[in-house]
Structure 1
Amino acid sequence: MDRPQDRIRSVLDSRLRATARFLRRNPLTLAGAVIVATLSVTATLGPVVVPYDPTATNVGPQIQSPTLAHPLGTDQLGRDVLSRVVHGARYSLGIALLVTGIRVVLGTIVGLAAGYAGGWIDEALMRLVDIQLAFPGLVLALVVAGILGPSLRNVMIALAVVGWATYARIVRGTVLSAKEREYVAAGRLFGAPRWRIARRHLLPSVMNPVMVIGTLNIGTVVLATAGLSFIGLGAQPPTPEWGTMLAGGRHYLRTAWWLVNVPGIAIALTVLGFNLLGDGLRDALDPHLQTRVEEV
Structure 2
Amino acid sequence: MSYSELQAEVPPAAAEPARVQGRGPFQLAWARFRRDKIALVSLVVLLLIVLFALMAPLWATWTGHPYDATFPQTGLDINGTPTGPGAEFWLGADQLGRDVLVRSAYGARISLIVGIAASLLASLFGVTAGVLAGYVGGVLDTLLARAMDITLALPYLLVAIVLAVTFQLTSVAASLTMTIFVIAFFSFAATGRIIRGQVMSLKQKEFIEAARSLGAGRWRIMFVDVLPNLVAQVTVLASLLVPTSIVFEATLSFLGVGVRLPMPSWGSMLGEGSDVFQTAWWLLAVPGVLLLLTTLAFNLVGDAIRDALDPRADRASGGK
With normalisation by structure 2, the TM-score equals: 0.80
- Out of 107, 111, 136, the residue aligned to residue 117 of structure 1 is 136
**Residue 292 of structure 1: aligned partner:** none
Query: Shift of residue 187 of structure 1?
Result: 1.4
Query: Shift of residue 288 of structure 1?
Result: 7.1
Describe how 1:128-277 pairs up with structure 2 within 5 A.
Answer: 128-149=147-168, 151-277=175-301
**Deviation sequence 1:87-130 (CA, Å, 0-9, x none):** 11111100111111111111111111011101111111111111
Query: Shift of residue 78 of structure 1?
Result: 1.8
Aligned-partner Cα distance in 2 for 1:265–1:84? 14
1:73 to 1:140, Cα distance in 2 relative to 1, 3 A: same
- Out of 29, 40, 52, the residue aligned to residue 42 of structure 1 is 52
Amino acid at match of 1:60: Q
Describe how 1:1-20 pairs up with structure 2 within 5 A.
Answer: 15=27, 19=30
User: SS of the residue aligned with 2:73?
Assistant: coil
Query: Shift of residue 77 of structure 1?
Result: 2.0
Aligned-partner Cα distance in 2 for 1:177–1:143? 39
**Residue 5 of structure 1: aligned partner:** none
Amino acid at match of 1:59: P
Number of positions where the alignment pairs a residue of Structure 1 with one of Structure 2: 278
Aligned-partner Cα distance in 2 for 1:236–1:87? 13
Query: Shift of residue 68 of structure 1?
Result: 2.2
Query: Shift of residue 27 of structure 1?
Result: 2.1
Aligned-partner Cα distance in 2 for 1:49–1:66? 15
Q: Which of the pair has more CA radius of gyration?
A: 2
* Structure 2 gap segments, 5+ residues each: 1-20, 76-81, 170-174, 314-320
Contact 1:32 / 1:276 at 8 angstroms: preserved in 2?
yes
Aligned-partner Cα distance in 2 for 1:149–1:97? 25
- Out of 47, 53, 56, the residue aligned to residue 69 of structure 2 is 56
**Deviation sequence 1:166-206 (CA, Å, 0-9, x none):** 11101111111111112211211111222221111111122
Aligned-partner Cα distance in 2 for 1:37–1:273? 10
C-alpha RMSD of the superposition: 2.4
Contact 1:159 / 1:221 at 8 angstroms: preserved in 2?
yes
**Residue 32 of structure 1: aligned partner:** 42
Contact 2:32 / 2:308 at 8 angstroms: preserved in 1?
no
**2:34 counterpart of 1:23:** yes
Describe how 1:82-101 pairs up with structure 2 within 5 A.
Answer: 82-101=101-120
Aligned-partner Cα distance in 2 for 1:247–1:267? 13
* Deviates further, 105-114 or 193-202: 193-202
Percent identity at matched positions? 39
After the TM superposition, list the runs of 4 or more consecutive aligned residues in structure 1 that deviate by more than 6 angstroms: none
1:21 to 1:188, Cα distance in 2 relative to 1, 3 A: closer
Aligned-partner Cα distance in 1 for 2:29–2:219? 34
Aligned-partner Cα distance in 2 for 1:263–1:41? 16
**Residue 316 of structure 2: aligned partner:** none
Query: Shift of residue 44 of structure 1?
Result: 2.4
- Out of 42, 67, 70, the residue aligned to residue 89 of structure 2 is 70
With normalisation by structure 1, the TM-score equals: 0.86
Contact 1:149 / 1:233 at 8 angstroms: preserved in 2?
no
Amino acid at match of 1:223: V
Aligned-partner Cα distance in 2 for 1:285–1:98? 23
